[in-house]
Amino acid sequence: MSEPGAGFWHIGVVVPAHDEDELLPGCLAALGTASAYAQRVLPGTRVTVLVVLDRCTDDSEAVCRRAAVTTLAVDAGSVGAARRLGVEAVQWPGPAHRGWLACTDADTEVPADWLVAQLRAADTGARLLLGAVEPDPTGVDPALLLAWHRLHPEPAGAADLRVHGANLGIRLDTYRRLGGFRDLAEHEDVDLVRRALAAGVRPRRGNTVRTSARTAGRTPGGFAGYLRALAITASGGGDDLERPA
């Protein structure tokens, strides 16, 4: 049998977290299911899940410890820096073209086939996957959900791809060639994808993850900021919104 990293993939899942002890359990449980499924369906696949604890003052570290998930404590104060430091901390065996970086967020739950779908795309030449997100409907104002689905119908194809750090996959050698995530307070995902497009990397569409529908997030804008503005629009208190990039 080949050594891991030669014919097999090594997936590094990097999750930035800032005081996320309430939502981390669901995130880590979903990642555990996706990791186990990938290793069962694609024998030889290695999966490392790393949570980057950025200035956490709550019980996020304890949540990770109970889930037997590796952590990295940092004092970055920046989601871009947290993601970058997490990627650098993962132990990547073998050549970089057999490494795959899967990005998500601590308030997100991925489907069971999330990693399998990414590796199957990678096996057919994909270097960048951009997946969709949908808000978790639990406890959400129905008017907000209706407004969301009106503005976000099922994507038609590659031309309709949008960028979400909660659902992004990229081959490790491509990531490194682009210079990785920059130390940005937000939109570090969009910045990386713009550089990828400029370098001629063609993205493909990934599957969909479910993200918290909270309107008070961990960055100034981001998904929570978009939902906050959308909630105002849905209640009749603002202008119509364009769909986010």
Identify whether 58 is part of a domain: yes
Q: Which two tokens stand for residue 38?
A: 């990938």
State which H helix or E strand residue 190 sits in.
Answer: helix 188-198
150 belongs to a structural domain: no
Task: Determine, yes or no, domain membership for 235.
Answer: no
* Domain with 174 in it: 10-136+157-216
Residue 141: per-residue pLDDT: 72
What are the tens digits of pLDDT across the range 11-57? Answer: 999 999 999 999 999 999 999 999 999 999 999 999 999 999 999 99
Residues 6+ apart with CB under 8 A from 101: 11, 12, 14, 87, 169, 170, 171, 172, 175
Classify residue 174: in a domain, yes or no: yes
Domain assignment present for residue 1? The answer is no
Q: Which of 113, 146, 99 is nearest to 37 (CA)?
A: 113
The pLDDT tens digits of the residues spanning 92-113 come to: 998 999 999 999 999 999 999 9
Q: Which pLDDT value is given to residue 62?
A: 99
What's the pTM value of the predicted model, to 2 decimals?
A: 0.85
- Would residue 204 count as lying in a domain? yes
3-state helix, strand, coil in the chain (%, to 5): 40, 20, 45
pLDDT at 135: 84
Task: Give the CATH number, domain containing residue 59.
Answer: 3.90.550.10
Residue recorded with tokens 């899967």: 102
pLDDT tens-digit map of 134-152 = 888 786 777 777 777 777 7
Task: Tell me how crowded residue 207 is: count the other CB atoms within 10 A of its CB.
Answer: 16
Q: How many domains does one find in the chain?
A: 1
